[in-house]
Chains A and B, each alone.
Chain A
Amino acid sequence: MTQHFVLTSQPLDERAVAALLDRDGAGAVVTFVGHVRAHSRGRDVTKLEYEAYPEMVEGVFKQIADEIHARGGVIDVAIHHRVGTLEVGEVSVVVAVSAAHRSPAFDACRYAIDRLKQIAPIWKKEHSPDGAVWVEDRP
């Protein structure tokens, strides 16, 4: 069984996520890889602590993929997200999309990561030398 929608405490491998995709008829695969930044909103970040609602989050990833398929033009979607403590530079999220053509692949990948940030029940605590805060802004 393929694991298209995954929440994991293990390090993410973007190539492994992209390799899950059905590529029958695909002319394009677009992968988005989110990394932990060393700076955020003027603060030095030492690490991020991700928390999720694990029993719900994979269903939300599937819902996002269903929304993408309803828009049409895409062959397959996979979304993996990390939880736990991440160091600067580590991968927090991978979204991969296959499609016949590049334009719907780019659009769907963008839609998926934007939608994930909007509705996925995931939170992050930003640790810096000044202390730790739960991030609540929605870029």
Chain B
Amino acid sequence: MRVTVRLFAAHREAAGTSTYVADLPDGATVSDAYAHVCASFPKIAHRAGSTAFALNRTHVSGDAPLNESDEVAILPPVAGG
């Protein structure tokens, strides 16, 4: 299946893009999409403990299952305010 991945801040700069399409096997989860990101862009360090995720613009945990055309966002530590 194909999902759209959104990247922000340090991740966006390391990848050189804010969005890309990942082709993942059926049954893949949000964590699998994150692993795909880190494999595709080696400058992005895999930091499971401090990275959050959103699926279709709602916060989810890494074990959330993906479906075709979903939008997955990889959220590095936030710093609003």
Chain A interfacial positions (CB closer than 8 Å to B): 34, 50-53, 55-56, 59-60, 81, 92-93, 113, 116-125, 134-138
Q: Check B79–A122 contact: CB distance below 8 A.
A: yes
Binding site for A on B (CB under 8 A): 6, 8-10, 12, 50, 54, 57-59, 73, 75-81
Contacts A51-B9, A92-B81 known; list 9 others, CB within 8 Å.
A50-B80, A52-B80, A56-B58, A93-B81, A116-B81, A117-B80, A124-B79, A137-B79, A138-B79
Known contacts A121-B8, A123-B8; is-contact A116 B76 (Cβ 8 Å):
no
Is the CB–CB distance between A119 and B59 below 8 Å?
yes
Q: Is the interface of A mostly helix, strand, loop or mixed?
A: mixed
**A116 partner, pick from B6, B75, B80, beta carbons under 8 A:** B80
Given contact pairs A51-B8, A125-B9, A120 touches B57 in the complex (Cβ within 8 A): no
